[in-house]
Chains A and B, each alone.
Chain A
Amino acid sequence: MTINGKAYIAGAFEHPTRNAVDKSLAQLHAECAKGALEDAGLTKDDVDGYFCAGDAPGLGPLSLADYMGLKLRHMDSTETGGSSYLLHVAHAAEAIALGKCKVALITLAGRPKAEGMATGTAPRNYGADAPDVAFEFPYSPVITNIYGMCAQRHMYEFGTTSEQLAWIKVAASHHAQHNPNAVLQNVVTVEDVVNSPMIADPLHRLDCCVISDGGGALVVVAPEIAKTLNRPMVKVKGAGEAPKHQMGGRVDLTYSGAAWSGPAAFEEAGVKPSDIKYASIYDSFTITVLMQIEDLGFCAKGEGGKFVADGNLISGTGKLPFNTDGGGLCNNHPANRGGMTKVIEAVRQLRGEAHPAVQVSNCDLAVAHGTGGQLGTRHGSATLILERE
């Protein structure tokens, strides 16, 4: 059994706010839901399946079904951090294929900016019951130094340079200049990145994503419903998911779970990395992109630095146009979770609705890939292959 062709993304919406001091968390979820349903040409009364993750307030799907007034026959609160929403699309397709629901709504929202959260530099305690916490938290792991350790090892093993990593931010900034909602809209150079303050060796401030409020939503529907809607048909063609962790202490930071979720997704879709016209790649940091591009098979392991250099990720000139909304590196990283916006920009590209300056011509096949948690400790990888029909 496969999900290939069993479901379509009919609605997508990215909240325009980046600083939501005047909005509640539930309100942001509901505004995103309303936006995505209107985009699809549906209403909340059409929704019979609902998906949300750890960013949802209270009892997750219960609290938000209550707030939004949803009557449901299927719900799912799979939580893998920032990659949750890619898994939700795949799980929605599975549920639709099994007849458990026909119109699945997925929402994400958060307001770390409004709350003044030091997302990348303050230690996060996942609670005493998390079995790893006693053996990690005393050492002050923060998001940036955990990814810094990945980058340091990649440089050691493969000779990757800070300048090569910087090209990833440069490419994102070339795209973000066309996005009026992006947090960072100025084009930056390799020199700007490597001369920005060092946060956690070898990652500079401009190697990091932005901290922003907002959210997004998706509507995944059964084929017979997609055909009745006046929207381009974006098919869920393949999906893969995998956790990667420390493997009992056999730590290997040279690859990510994309090495498992990617091949699974490509196999289900029946396509190859070289067939892909556009890629949304999770970009919490520049190193995140580099490792995932290798693991998804766009280049050989260790060749990522050379692959991304010289603007190869810039739409219109590069071989692999990526994150044409500016991504988490420049546009938006709502709730400190970038998976939702990865799917949304892939949908825009497949519909031909990306900004004209970054729209990939004849974009009929895209990948969206997410990493939740942290690459350097434990993370959930999720890969989606989407096709314009």
Chain B
Amino acid sequence: MKAEKRILAAPFIAPETEEYWNSTRDGKLMIRYCKSCDAYHHYPRTICPRCGSDDTEYRESTGTGVIYTYSVMRRAPVPYAIAYVTLDGTDISMMTNIVDCDLDSLSIGQKVKLDFADSEGDGPPVPVFTPV
């Protein structure tokens, strides 16, 4: 079954994460990085959840990764795939959707690349992934 295009719910944009959503309007996925412990985290926080330092900044993701796990939601008006994707060059996995794909041929370990889905109203583009 081919994944149909969906308009996603618009994210609530907090002051702390405004830059993340501004970047998606520029077609970029930014991941929070802690200079103190040399590690990424996600979702983005001002204070690193690993070491507690506030010496954190955004760095641009390579935009590629692999599917850590997924589930195709069949009992929905428009079936869709939810997933965690592990981002290349990091040890972090982010919740996302896999779009523009055959929902019946997804697999764990599959290589995917960054895409964006529209969100409702004036909402920003939301980072999603599609098979390479």
Q: Report A's interface with B, CB cutoff 8 A.
A: 121, 123, 128, 131-142, 144-146, 148-153, 156, 197-203, 246-251, 253, 377
Not counting A153-B68, A199-B74, A251-B93, a sample of 20 additional A-B residue pairs whose C-beta atoms are within 8 angstroms of each other reads: A121-B73, A133-B12, A134-B21, A137-B11, A139-B96, A139-B128, A140-B73, A145-B71, A145-B73, A151-B71, A152-B69, A156-B69, A197-B75, A200-B75, A201-B71, A203-B71, A248-B48, A249-B42, A249-B93, A253-B68
- Docked complex Cα distance between A289 and B84 (Å): 22
Q: Which of B50, B82, B91, B97 has the most CB of A within 10 A?
A: B82
Q: Identify 5 residue pairs between A and B in the complex whose beta-carbon atoms are under 8 Å apart, listed by A's number.
A: A140-B80, A148-B71, A153-B108, A156-B108, A201-B72
Decide: B69 and A149 in contact? CB cutoff 8 A.
yes
Q: Is B132 an interface residue (CB 8 A)?
A: no
- Docked complex Cα distance between A236 and B41 (Å): 39
CB within 8 A of A200: which of B11, B74, B90? Answer: B74
Chain A residues with CB under 8 Å of B71's CB are 144-146, 148-149, 151-152, 200-203
- Docked complex Cα distance between A251 and B42 (Å): 10
Residues of B106-122 at the interface with A, using a CB-CB cut-off of 8 Å, are: 108-109, 117, 119
Decide: A253 and B69 in contact? CB cutoff 8 A.
yes
If the complex has contacts A149-B82, A149-B83, A153-B108, are A128 and B72 also in contact, measured as CB distance less than 8 A?
A: no
Decide: A141 and B82 in contact? CB cutoff 8 A.
yes
Chain B residues with CB under 8 Å of A123's CB are 9
Decide: B82 and A251 in contact? CB cutoff 8 A.
no
Chain A residues with CB under 8 Å of B82's CB are 139-141, 145-146, 149
Q: Which residue of B lies closest to A147 (CB)?
A: B71
- Docked complex Cα distance between A137 and B9 (Å): 7
Q: Which residue of A lies closest to B39 (CB)?
A: A248
CB within 8 A of B11: which of A134, A151, A248? Answer: A134
Mark interface residues in B5-42 (1 if CB within 8 Å of A CB, else 0). 01011111110010001000000000000000001111
Q: Is B95 an interface residue (CB 8 A)?
A: yes
Chain B residues with CB under 8 Å of A140's CB are 6, 8-9, 73, 76, 80, 82, 97
Q: Report B's interface with A, CB cutoff 8 A.
A: 6, 8-14, 17, 21, 39-43, 45, 48-50, 68-76, 80, 82-84, 90-97, 108-109, 117, 119, 126, 128
Decide: A135 and B73 in contact? CB cutoff 8 A.
no
Decide: A200 and B73 in contact? CB cutoff 8 A.
yes
Top-9 shortest CB links A-B: A249-B92, A148-B71, A248-B41, A135-B43, A134-B11, A128-B12, A249-B42, A153-B69, A248-B49
Chain B residues with CB under 8 Å of A251's CB are 68, 84, 92-93
Decide: A141 and B95 in contact? CB cutoff 8 A.
yes
Q: Which residue of B lies closest to A152 (CB)?
A: B69
B71 to chain A, nearest CB (A): 3
- Docked complex Cα distance between A145 and B83 (Å): 9
Decide: B17 and A134 in contact? CB cutoff 8 A.
yes
Decide: B97 and A139 in contact? CB cutoff 8 A.
yes
Chain B residues with CB under 8 Å of A150's CB are 69
Chain B residues with CB under 8 Å of A128's CB are 12, 14
Decide: A139 and B8 in contact? CB cutoff 8 A.
yes
Decide: A136 and B95 in contact? CB cutoff 8 A.
yes
Decide: B91 and A250 in contact? CB cutoff 8 A.
yes
Q: Which of A137, A201, A249, A253 has the most CB of B within 10 A?
A: A249
Decide: A250 and B75 in contact? CB cutoff 8 A.
no
A142 to chain B, nearest CB (A): 7
Chain A residues with CB under 8 Å of B10's CB are 138
Chain A residues with CB under 8 Å of B6's CB are 140
Decide: B45 and A121 in contact? CB cutoff 8 A.
no
If the complex has contacts A149-B82, A250-B92, are A138 and B74 also in contact, measured as CB distance less than 8 A?
A: no
Q: Which residue of A lies closest to B50 (CB)?
A: A248
A188 to chain B, nearest CB (A): 19
- Docked complex Cα distance between A248 and B56 (Å): 13
CB within 8 A of A131: which of B8, B45, B95, B96? Answer: B45
Chain A residues with CB under 8 Å of B17's CB are 134-135
Q: Which of B9, B83, B90 has the most CB of A within 10 A?
A: B9
B22 to chain A, nearest CB (A): 13
Q: Which residue of A lies closest to B42 (CB)?
A: A249
Decide: B126 and A138 in contact? CB cutoff 8 A.
yes
Q: Which residue of A lies closest to B44 (CB)?
A: A135
